[in-house]
Chain A
Amino acid sequence: MPHTNPASPILQLRGAQVAYGQIQAVKGVDLDLFAGELVSLIGANGAGKTTTLNAIAGTLQLSGGSMSYGGDSIAGLPAHKRLRAGIALVPEGRGIFTRLTVEENLRMGAYTRKDKAEIEADMQRVYELLPRVKERLQQVAGTLSGGEQQMVAIGRALLSRPKLLLLDEPSMGLAPLIVEKIFEVIHTVMKQGVTVLLVEQNANLALGYSNRAYVMDGGKITISGSGQELLHDPKVREAYLGEIA
C-alpha cells in the first residue's frame, strides 16, 4: 500500500501521559498520523490503547506531554469541540444510544451540522456503505445484534464528516464474517480520504489493512513500523499474533 507522508502530521502526540488519579495509564507516547493514512495501534489488554484514544477524542485530558491537531495544540479542548474540529471516536463497546432508534442514532452523528441537504446525502451514503443499517432504521438500537450496533456506531461517526476517525476495537465480540465486512468498510472510509487510527486485538487483520502500526505495552509505544514490517516482525508475531517464534 502507498505510503502517504506529507510534510506535517494531522495529529501529533509527544510524550503524552494520561492518568486515572494516581494510576498512570499512558506513560509518554509519541505518535504521528499523516493525512489519509490508516494506522493501527495494537497491544495487550491494559496496554493503554483505549486511554490513548479517549485522550485524542477529548473525553480524557493529558496529564503531561503535548498533543497537536492540524498544527494547533488541542490540550484542554473538551470532547464536543474536538468533534466539531473533525475528530470522531467510535468508542470501545460501541456506545450506541440503546433507547434511541437506529435513525436517531445516526442523526446524533450529524448533531453539529446545519447543512440539511448534505446530511440527507450523507445518510444515503451510509445506507449504501452499510445496507444492513438501512433495513432497521426505525428499530430501537438496543435490540440490534452486536454486529449491527457496530455498523450503526461507525455510520454515526461518519455522519459527523470526520477528518480523523478513531475506532476502538470494532471487531470486539463479532463473528469472523462480520469482522471482515467491518474492515472492508474501514478501508473504504480511508480510501475516501479520512485518516483512521484503529485500535485492534485482531492484530493479524488490522496489520494487513494498515499503512503503519504502533505496538503499545505498559503505557508506552514499544515497536512501530509499516503494517507489513510488523506482520513479519518475530517479536510482534510472538506477542500479538499468537505464534511461537
Chain B
Amino acid sequence: MQTLLQQIVNGLVVGSVYAVVALGYTMVYGILGLINFAHGEVLMVGALVALSAITFFQSVLPDLHPIAYFVMGLLVAMPVCMAVGYTIERTAYRRLRNAPRLAPLITAIGVSFLLQTLAMIIWGRNYHSFPQLIQTAPIEIVAGVFMTPVQMTTVGVSAAMMIGLVILVTRTNMGRAMRATAENHRVASLMGVDTNRIIALTFIIGSALAAVAGVMIASNYGVAHYSMGFLPGLKAFTAAVLGGIGNLAGAMVGGIVLGLVEAIGAGYIETWTGGWLNSSYQDIFAFLILGIVLIFRPTGLLGERVADRA
C-alpha cells in the first residue's frame, strides 16, 4: 500500500511535467493540424540555457539564495525558448502551411535534428550536472510516503502553468481568438484576427511551457545534455494523443495518467514479470499506451476530433 501511494506521488510529479509539455504539442496541433516534433528539443534548450544562466549568475553574483539562481535560470530560459519557438514557426513551418501533410512532418524532424546538433556544438556532448538549487532531501508527507522539495516545486509550478494557460485560453480575448482560429482560420481573419500572429503566439506560449518543463526535469534528475529532450518529448506527445490531440484538458489528463501508469508500472514491473524485467524498463509503458490508443481509440480519451493530419 505504501509502495502504491509512493508510486502515485512519483507519478503525479512526472505526469505534471508531461502535462505541461503535452500542452505545447496539443495547442500547435489544434491550431495548425501539425505535430511539432521539435517541441521536445525546445525543452532541452530551456534546460541548457538555464544551466548556463545559473552558472553565469553564480559567478558574477555569488552568495544569493539558491532559489534566486533557480528563478533567474527560468527567467532567462523562458524568453530564449519563446524566441526559438517563434523562429521555428516563422522560418520552417509558416511557408509550409498549405503544403501536403508529409512536408511539415519531415521538416519538424529536421528542425529537431538541427536543434540537437546546435546544442551539441554549444554545450558539447557531455552530460552536465545541473545544480541542485532546491532541496532534494525527501520529506515524509504521510506515513511512509516521501516527497522532495524539488518534486513539490515541480508539481506546484506545473499546476500554476496549467491554470494560467487555461485562464488565458478560456477567459481572455486572445484565448478566444486562439480557439476561433483553431476552428476556422479564414473566418477568424474575417473577425479582424491576424491569424499569423495568433499562430506565432501559440508557438511562443508552448515554448515557454517547454522551457519551464526542461528546467524542472533537469532539476529533478540533476543532469542536462543535448539529447535530453527526446524521451520527454515523445512521452508528452504520447500523453497528448492519449488525452485526444488538439484538446487542452486532454493533454493535462493524458500527462497525469501517463505519469501514473509509468510510475506504478515501474514499481511493480519486477513483481509482475517475476524479475524478468525491472524498473529500468518503465519506458515501455508509454509506448504500449501510444500503440493501444492509436489502434483502438485514435481520438484519445477526451478527443472527439479525428486526428486526420500527421
Query: CA A57 – CA B192 in complex, angstroms?
Result: 11
9-residue interface stretch from B106-114, B122-130, B172-180: B172-180
**CB-CB < 8 A to A78: which residues of B?**
189, 194
Closest CB-CB distance, A221 to chain B, in whole Å?
A: 24
Decide if A108 touches B189 in the complex (CB within 8 Å): no
On whether A83 and B179 interact (CB within 8 A), knowing A59-B186, A111-B173, the answer reads no
Decide if A91 touches B173 in the complex (CB within 8 Å): no
Closest CB-CB distance, B103 to chain A, in whole Å?
A: 19
**CB-CB < 8 A to B195: which residues of A?**
80
9-residue interface stretch from A92-100, A196-204, A230-238: A92-100
Decide if A91 touches B192 in the complex (CB within 8 Å): no
**CB-CB < 8 A to B191: which residues of A?**
80, 83, 108-109, 111-112, 156, 160
On whether A99 and B183 interact (CB within 8 A), knowing A107-B176, A108-B177, the answer reads yes
Of the A-B pairs whose beta carbons lie under 8 Å apart in the complex, a sample of 25, sorted by A's number, is A57-B190, A59-B186, A59-B189, A78-B189, A79-B190, A80-B189, A80-B190, A80-B191, A83-B192, A84-B192, A88-B190, A91-B186, A97-B180, A97-B187, A98-B183, A99-B183, A100-B180, A100-B183, A107-B173, A108-B177, A108-B191, A108-B193, A109-B191, A156-B191, A160-B191
Report if B184 contacts A (CB, 8 A).
yes
Query: CA A59 – CA B184 in complex, angstroms?
Result: 12
Q: Which of B177, B188, B191 has the most CB of A within 10 A?
A: B191
**CB-CB < 8 A to A217: which residues of B?**
none
Q: Which 8 A-B pairs have the closest CB atoms?
A: A112-B192, A83-B192, A95-B187, A79-B189, A108-B191, A80-B189, A80-B194, A111-B191
Report if A148 contacts B (CB, 8 A).
no
| A111: contacting residue among B177, B183, B184, CB under 8 A | B177
Query: CA A107 – CA B183 in complex, angstroms?
Result: 16
Query: CA A108 – CA B177 in complex, angstroms?
Result: 7
Which B residues, 16 to 55, have Cβ-Cβ distances below 8 Å to chain A?
Answer: none
Given A100-B179, A107-B176, A108-B188, 18 more pairs with CB closer than 8 A? A59-B190, A78-B189, A79-B190, A80-B191, A80-B195, A83-B191, A83-B192, A95-B190, A97-B180, A97-B183, A100-B180, A108-B180, A109-B191, A111-B176, A111-B191, A111-B192, A112-B191, A160-B191
Residue of A nearest to B304 (CB): A99
Residue of B nearest to A108 (CB): B191
Report if A32 contacts B (CB, 8 A).
no
Report if A89 contacts B (CB, 8 A).
yes
Query: CA A76 – CA B194 in complex, angstroms?
Result: 15
Interface size on B, residues (CB 8 A): 17
Closest CB-CB distance, B56 to chain A, in whole Å?
A: 41
Which A residues, 61 to 118, have Cβ-Cβ distances below 8 Å to chain B?
Answer: 78-80, 83-84, 88-89, 91, 95, 97-100, 104, 107-109, 111-112
Residue of B nearest to A90 (CB): B190
Query: CA A57 – CA B179 in complex, angstroms?
Result: 22
**CB-CB < 8 A to B176: which residues of A?**
100, 104, 107-108, 111
Chain B residues near A (Cβ < 8 Å): 173, 176-177, 179-180, 183-184, 186-195
Query: CA A78 – CA B179 in complex, angstroms?
Result: 20
Query: CA A220 – CA B205 in complex, angstroms?
Result: 47
Closest CB-CB distance, B210 to chain A, in whole Å?
A: 26
Residue of A nearest to B177 (CB): A111
Residue of B nearest to A107 (CB): B176
Query: CA A107 – CA B171 in complex, angstroms?
Result: 12
On whether A89 and B190 interact (CB within 8 A), knowing A97-B179, A108-B176, the answer reads yes
Closest CB-CB distance, A161 to chain B, in whole Å?
A: 11
**CB-CB < 8 A to A111: which residues of B?**
173, 176-177, 191-193
Query: CA A78 – CA B188 in complex, angstroms?
Result: 12
Closest CB-CB distance, B120 to chain A, in whole Å?
A: 40
**CB-CB < 8 A to B190: which residues of A?**
57, 59, 79-80, 83, 88-89, 91, 95
Q: Which of A80, A95, A104 has the most CB of B within 10 A?
A: A80
Contact with B along A26-66 (1 / 0, CB 8 A): 00000000000000000000000000000001110000000
Decide if A80 touches B192 in the complex (CB within 8 Å): yes
Query: CA A79 – CA B190 in complex, angstroms?
Result: 6
Closest CB-CB distance, B2 to chain A, in whole Å?
A: 44
Query: CA A79 – CA B188 in complex, angstroms?
Result: 9
Residue of B nearest to A87 (CB): B190
Closest CB-CB distance, B31 to chain A, in whole Å?
A: 13
Query: CA A58 – CA B195 in complex, angstroms?
Result: 14
Which A residues, 172 to 217, have Cβ-Cβ distances below 8 Å to chain B?
Answer: none
Closest CB-CB distance, A82 to chain B, in whole Å?
A: 9
Decide if B184 touches A97 in the complex (CB within 8 Å): yes
Query: CA A111 – CA B184 in complex, angstroms?
Result: 15
Query: CA A109 – CA B176 in complex, angstroms?
Result: 11
Query: CA A91 – CA B179 in complex, angstroms?
Result: 19
Closest CB-CB distance, A100 to chain B, in whole Å?
A: 6
**CB-CB < 8 A to B192: which residues of A?**
80, 83-84, 111-112, 160
Query: CA A226 – CA B195 in complex, angstroms?
Result: 39
**CB-CB < 8 A to A99: which residues of B?**
179, 183
Query: CA A206 – CA B190 in complex, angstroms?
Result: 24
